[in-house]
Amino acid sequence: DIINKVARRITVNELPTMDDFSNNTFVIRPNFQEKFRSALVQEMLHDLVNDFFKEKTYDTEESLVWSKEFSALVKEKLKELKLPRYKYVVQCIIGEQRGEGVKVASRCLWDSDTDNVVQESFVNESLFCVVAAYGIYYY
C-alpha cells in the first residue's frame, strides 16, 4: 500500500537528472578562509586561559573538574569559529606549582597543510596549566 502511494507520487519529471549531480561536493582541502588559523586560536586560547585561571589556587580535587570544564569551554569556542569539517581535540593539564619543571609532549599523524595545533601555558603562585588545542580537518 505505502509503496504504491509513493510510486504514484513520483513521476518522470520529478526524478533527478545527471545535471543535478554534476557538481562534485567532495572537498579535499578547505578554502584559505576556512583553515584553522593558529594565530587567531592562539590569541583566543591566551585570553581564555588567563581569564579562567587567574583567581584560582591549586586544589587536587578541583583540578580534575577545572580541567574538564576548561577543555569543554575551549572546544565550544573553537566550534564558534564555524570551520567546516574540522574536528577539535583539547588537552588540558593542571598541576601544583612547586618550582619544578614539567614537560608535555604529544605526537600526531596529520596533514600539515590543513591540520594544526596551538599551545598555551599559564602559571601563577599555586598552579600551572598547559593547554593544547588541535584542529584536524576531516576528509
pLDDT number for residue 119: 95
For the chain, what is the mean pLDDT?
86
Q: Hey, what long-range contacts does 117-120 have (CB within 8 A, 24 or more apart)?
A: 117/38, 118/38, 118/41, 118/42, 118/45, 120/42, 120/45, 120/46, 120/49
pLDDT number for residue 23: 60
| Coil vs helix vs strand at 98 | coil
Per-residue pLDDT band at 103 (split at 50, 70, 90): confident
pLDDT of 109 above 80? yes
pLDDT number for residue 87: 95
Q: Per residue in 29-81, pLDDT tens?
A: 888 889 999 999 999 999 999 999 999 999 999 999 999 999 999 999 999 99
CB 34 within 8 A of CB 61: no
pLDDT of 123 above 80? yes
